[in-house]
Amino acid sequence: MLIVYGVAIGAAILVLWFTVTTKPAAGRANLMAGIDLAPSKPSEPFTRRFGQVLRKLVPTGVIRWLDDLLVQAGHPQGMDLPRLLGLTACVVLVPLLFFVALGYPLWGVIFAFAGLCGPTYWIMTERDKRQASMRDSSADLIDQLTICVEAGLGFDAALARVAATSEGPLAVELQHATADIRAGVPRDQALKALADRSAIPEIRQLVTALVQAQRHGTPLADTLRLQAAEMRDKRAQRIEEKAAKLGTKMIFPIVVCFMPVFFIIILVPAVSGLAAAFG
């Protein structure tokens, strides 16, 4: 019976999750485009309003950490801090109250702990994926930036061109940086903000090299070329490390999945033959 309750709680949490993260359909937005509607106050989801209330109760350090985590993850599914807090509170309180009402407080605590860690773990997973994508595409984008600078474009124009003609999380961050520069933010501050949003050592090193080159008058093309070569070397090293770890990661599935089936195929006919011979 507890398994049935757990499945029901999981289904309710999934429904709540899709309700929170689902965005309006693009077709409906296109149909409503250009139609003058009566002005109305937009209704906020319950989780967002609940999260705005909880934000006042959560410690400032936790708020700052979650905010930085969301920025580094790129706000997946449009998730912001109030919605994250409200969603976390809902997936904690719903199973806790449900199992306590049924007389199983221990299961309520277990599911509540899982609900507390679940949304944050999802955000951290999305952050790791985004940072890995940015790290893998950084060398190629810097090569494009080097070509644009060597072709005679200024650094700001080259940065805007690479950001407009590329795809991926790093291109999005470059577009953000170019928008900051066009808005009047100094170039070094815009680049440092880019490094803070990405939180990748390679991007921080690139930004530091560009700021120093700008400060000392070093040609940007030479700096970009050196940084791109170094990033390609680091990418090759990461690939070699993953290949070296592959054998260790394959031990568990081989032992658990392959070896029992192998022994069954080999031993069962031999055992049956011996049993028929001595039977």
pLDDT value at residue 14: 56
Position with higher pLDDT, 108 vs 43: 108
Q: How crowded is residue 247: how many other Cβ atoms within 10 Å of its Cβ?
A: 9
pTM above 0.75, yes or no: no
The CA-based angle 21-26-30, given to 5 degrees, is: 145
Q: For residue 189, what are the contacts with CB-CB under 8 A and spacing of at least 6?
A: 180
User: What does 118-178 look like in DSSP terms, one character per residue?
Assistant: HHHHHHHHHHHHHHHHHHHHHHHHHHHHHHHHHTT--HHHHHHHHHHH--SHHHHHHHHHH
**Residue 197 scores a pLDDT above 70:** yes
132-245 fold:
Receptor-associated Protein (1.20.81)
Domain boundaries, the chain: 2-20+45-129, 132-245
* pLDDT tier, 124 (very low <50, low <70, confident <90, very high otherwise): very high
Whether 37 has a pLDDT exceeding 50, the answer reads no
Binning pLDDT at 50, 70 and 90, where does residue 199 land? confident
pLDDT band at 125 (very low <50, low <70, confident <90, very high): very high
pLDDT 10s digits, 42-55: 455 677 777 788 88
pLDDT, mean over the chain? 79
- How many other C-beta atoms lie within 10 A of the C-beta of residue 209? 17
**Torsion sign over Cα 29, 33, 36, 42:** positive
pLDDT surpassing 80 at residue 58: yes
65 or 259: which carries more pLDDT confidence?
65
pLDDT at 278 over 80: no
Lowest mean pLDDT among 16-25, 101-110, 139-148, 199-208: 16-25
